[in-house]
Structures are given as structure tokens and as C-alpha cells.
């Protein structure tokens, strides 16, 4: 008797866009999903050779693209494998990405990516699945390039409305001028996520609801992708290095960030160890000084062999509190 071959992931076509909550076909990166066992899945994705937004200027795999691929994989599994109805509200209260090694895209062809995804801590209520966690390993040509994780909450409209702190939404207001794209490592002024602030060391989140990447479809809040990019641009401006990408980040989306703002972005703390790893905590606060989002990012710096110590870090945006040696602040939001 012939033993059947194991299932093979397809990279031929993108999955239907509604399964990943995207409007533009061009912004769908996942191509297939297979269940291996209960709670264990393989997801295929393809990253383009060039993209107007994604594609790290540091010529490495883009941490923001890794995060977006995890988001799409999570939503795809929810709808295609876990039976979550279309039209359901999704919240990702936390997300983390860690890049592994010094690999970089081929540059001559698209990159086929395989995600090994584990779904855990599933909770259900009378309306069905209400929350779960995902963790994923990203592989390119059988080499692991990253890990990522996220928490997922699934809520009905009534619960979603209670989480909001909304004023009148004005989507037709033109966004203010952003920082120069060369300073934040952006290829287009449309992708600049920060504007100047009157206070040194602080910036204001720039929300452009016409941006086809951040706002691929109509949203009534600031998406996590924009917050993650704003944190990365904040770090680039603060360090004066527009070419860097973070080695890892951990984000806690504590409250929904409303469109009307303003939302202040600042470097709250900085610490550098002797191995050349610099950790920065980025805070997002509203006009009432409530912390809306915390993103802790790590960047790797070349260690100075001559000095035998930690590298110097040129800072251009003020002097946050140095927390070297202090207990690490947990970014895991409280679980309900």
C-alpha cells in the first residue's frame, strides 16, 4: 500500500483577503495554512522583493513585516481553522518579535516564508472563542530567522464599545507635516509616523487615515502597525541612525488609541549592557497623560573592542532615565 505524502504548503496564491482583514490584494502576504495537530499549524507566506513600506533599510529582514505576517497568520487561523465568524472584532493586546541571526533577503526574488504556529491558552464563552495566544517560528529555506508571539481577544460589538474613549472622529482632517523621511528611514513622506513636538525628546503621532498601508481599510482607531512603526521611527530619530531596525520588540497595547489624538511619543528609558545591546522603552500617552501603549525595543550595536566596554550611543532627543541595572518592567498587560 502506498503511503500518502505529507501535505505540502502552497506559495502559489494569496489567501482570500477577507480572511486576513485586508482590502488590497497586494497587502496579503500569507498564502496557505495547514493543521498538523490540535493547536499546531503551518502557515505559508511570501514577502515581496520590494515594498513601498516594508523592507528594512538595514538590509535585514524587516521586524515590522514579521509582525504583520504574524497578525495575518493569527487572523487566518482564527477564521479558517478555529471557526471564528467573519466580522468579529479582534484585539491583539500584546505582541513580540525577535529576529535571529544576521540573515537578509535575497533581493533577486520574493522570499518564501514558513511559519510554525502554536495556538495555546484558548478560552471560550457562551458566544464561542474569546481569547487565545499564538507563538510562531519563522523559517526561510529551513533556517530560522525570527520568533514572534501575540495575545488575541475576540469581542462582540458591545464589549468593544465599552473599551473606547471616543470623541468626534474627523477622518477628513489633513495630517500635519511629518519629520523628514530621511531622518526616520522611510522611503516615502507618506509613511512618516511622527511630527515635531514643542517638548524636546517628545514627538506627536502622525495619523494619516489615507495611508494605504496603515489604513488599508477603514478603521475607527489607530492600528498597531502604525504604533510599532512610530516606535521604530522614534528610536531612529533619537539615536540619529536612520538605517537601524530593532533586533526585537515587545509591545503592550494597553488601551485603544483613538484617531483624534493627540498622542505623545517619547523615549521613557534607555539602558545598554556590555554586550552592546541597547534597550529603549517607548511610551505613547494621550492628552490626559494616560499610558496607551508601551513598546520595549532592543537594538544591537557594534561593541568597541578597543575600549572593551559597552558602545557609546549618540542621543539626539533628550535624556531619558537610564535604567541600567534596574528590574525590567513587564510589558505583559493584565489578563481578564
What confidence tens digit (pLDDT) does each residue in 139-162 have?
Answer: 999 899 999 999 999 988 888 888
Alpha-carbon span 90 to 96, nearest angstrom: 17
Check whether residue 177 and residue 133 sit in a common domain. Answer: no
User: Is 38 inside a domain boundary?
Assistant: yes
Q: Rounded mean pLDDT of the chain?
A: 85
User: Is 161 inside a domain boundary?
Assistant: no
Last residue of a domain, one of 127, 156, 185: 156
C-alpha cell at 212: 494605504
Percentage helix, strand, coil, to 5, in the chain?
15, 35, 50
Q: Which of 165-174, 190-199, 233-242 has the lowest mean pLDDT?
A: 165-174
Check whether residue 139 and residue 62 sit in a common domain. Answer: yes
Distances (CA, A) of 73 to 16, 225, 227: 12, 15, 20
Q: Which domain holds residue 86?
A: 1-156
Check whether residue 12 and residue 36 sit in a common domain. Answer: yes
Last residue of a domain, one of 105, 125, 156: 156
What's the pTM? 0.86
CATH number at residue 173: 3.10.129.10
C-alpha cell at 111: 522570499
Tally of structural domains, the chain: 2
Amino acid at each position: 500500500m502506498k503511503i500518502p505524502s505529507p501535505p505540502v504548503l502552497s506559495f502559489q496564491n494569496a489567501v482570500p483577503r477577507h480572511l486576513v482583514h485586508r482590502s488590497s490584494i497586494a497587502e496579503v502576504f500569507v498564502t496557505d495554512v495547514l493543521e498538523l495537530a490540535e493547536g499546531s499549524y503551518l502557515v505559508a507566506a511570501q514577502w515581496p522583493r520590494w515594498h513601498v513600506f516594508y523592507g528594512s533599510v538595514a538590509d535585514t529582514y524587516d521586524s515590522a513585516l514579521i509582525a504583520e505576517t504574524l497578525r495575518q497568520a493569527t487572523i487566518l487561523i482564527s477564521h479558517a481553522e478555529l471557526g471564528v465568524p467573519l466580522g468579529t472584532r479582534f484585539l491583539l493586546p500584546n505582541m513580540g518579535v525577535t529576529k535571529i541571526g544576521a540573515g537578509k533577503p535575497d533581493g533577486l526574488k520574493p522570499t518564501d516564508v514558513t511559519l510554525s504556529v502554536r495556538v495555546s491558552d484558548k478560552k471560550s464563552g457562551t458566544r464561542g472563542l474569546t481569547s487565545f495566544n499564538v507563538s510562531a517560528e519563522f523559517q526561510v529555506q529551513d533556517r530560522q530567522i525570527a520568533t514572534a508571539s501575540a495575545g488575541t481577544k475576540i469581542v462582540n460589538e458591545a464589549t468593544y464599545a465599552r473599551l473606547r474613549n471616543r470623541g468626534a472622529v474627523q477622518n477628513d482632517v489633513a495630517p500635519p507635516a511629518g519629520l523628514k523621511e530621511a531622518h526616520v528611514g522611510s522611503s516615502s513622506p507618506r509613511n512618516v509616523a511622527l511630527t515635531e513636538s514643542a517638548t524636546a525628546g517628545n514627538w506627536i503621532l502622525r495619523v494619516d487615515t489615507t495611508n494605504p498601508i496603515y489604513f488599508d481599510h477603514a478603521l475607527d482607531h489607530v492600528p498597531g502597525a502604525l504604533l510599532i512603526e512610530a516606535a521604530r521611527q522614534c528610536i531612529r530619530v533619537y539615536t540619529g541612525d536612520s538605517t537601524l531596525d530593532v533586533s526585537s520588540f515587545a509591545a503592550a497595547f494597553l488601551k485603544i488609541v483613538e484617531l483624534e489624538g493627540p498622542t505623545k511619543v517619547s523615549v521613557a528609558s534607555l539602558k545598554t549592557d556590555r554586550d552592546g545591546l541597547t534597550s529603549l522603552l517607548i511610551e505613547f500617552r494621550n492628552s490626559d497623560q494616560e499610558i496607551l501603549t508601551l513598546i520595549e525595543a532592543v537594538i544591537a550595536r557594534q561593541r568597541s573592542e578597543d575600549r572593551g566596554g559597552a558602545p557609546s550611543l549618540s542621543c539626539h532627543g533628550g535624556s531619558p532615565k537610564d535604567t541600567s541595572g534596574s528590574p525590567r518592567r513587564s510589558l505583559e498587560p493584565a489578563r481578564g
